[in-house]
Structure 1
Amino acid sequence: MLLAAAGLYVGNSSTLAGRPPGGPFLLAHRGLAQTFDLAGVTNDTCTAERIHPPEHPYLENTLASMRVAFAAGADLVEFDVQVTRDGRLAVFHDATLQCHTDGTGKVAEHTLAELRGLDLGYGYTSDGGRTFPFRGKGVGLLPTAEEVLAEFPDR
């Protein structure tokens, strides 16, 4: 029995596998995004309200943030998709709008045109709501999955 367990362990572990060819890949999570403290973050945490002081002008899940991530050497960019009321695939992280944007409700309750009128940078603050460095800078930046794939066809 012990020999069978040892064989099962070795057969299912990576101890016998060699290093994959090509080395590691650099993955950019949502493109180049604002950073925030991960302590205490849950699925319901509004991360836009807890960013570090901004070090760059990019907002997550936008074409500009993906372009700069690839330019900085990313091999892959992960992005999030939500289905809109009119059946489009909007690139947006949250199912709801009120954390990051000046909108309310669920992404699925709005058309793509309505979502593109929102300010994606509206809710970002690093100082508890005294200032909002990206307010007014995120209008019209919400892409569709089709636009992302067309922009980066070889990625």
Structure 2
Amino acid sequence: MTPDQEAADALVQKADALTRRARSGARLREGIRLYRKAFKMGDGAGAYNLACTYQNLGDYRKAVAWFRRALDAGDLSALVPLAQAELYGCGTRRNSKAALAKLQRIAGWNNVSWISPFDREQAMIVLAASLRDGWLLRRDYPASLKWLRRAAKLGSAEAIGLLEDLGE
């Protein structure tokens, strides 16, 4: 890690500490400033964490904009929240076809290091819920169960709980 990368990482860590549980005020503003600075220094985590901060504050348009910046910077973790935003139309125009394509792509990636198991599990769970409820697409219980079982096989406590609730 270069000294610039270390400095940017330190800014992200400080911003994380400042924005934790901050809903407004000087701490939040300073955290946002530090995330932006880290991103300008080339740290994609700054963009991703700033997007999460805006999402937690309910500013979905800004969240989507920063998730897109994180994705453009190479952070594939931003795909799941972007797909969810497109699926539900939060902060961006609803585009269920593009959202489902993203989710299926993420869920289908096996043995890749650039996407976390948690992100794969989340993609599978969102797909399962959409298929189970028939929301924005044709209801398909068998396909829903398939995605839940795959997420449970990866160790997702949420998927395991949902399967238990369904008597599986």
After TM superposition, is the score higher than 0.5?
no
TM-score scaled by length of structure 1: 0.28
Q: Which has the higher strand share?
A: 1
- Computing the radius of gyration from Cα coordinates, the structure with the larger value is 1
Higher relative contact order structure (alpha carbons within 8 Å, sequence separation ≥ 6): 1
TM-score scaled by length of structure 2: 0.26
Q: Which has the higher helix share?
A: 2
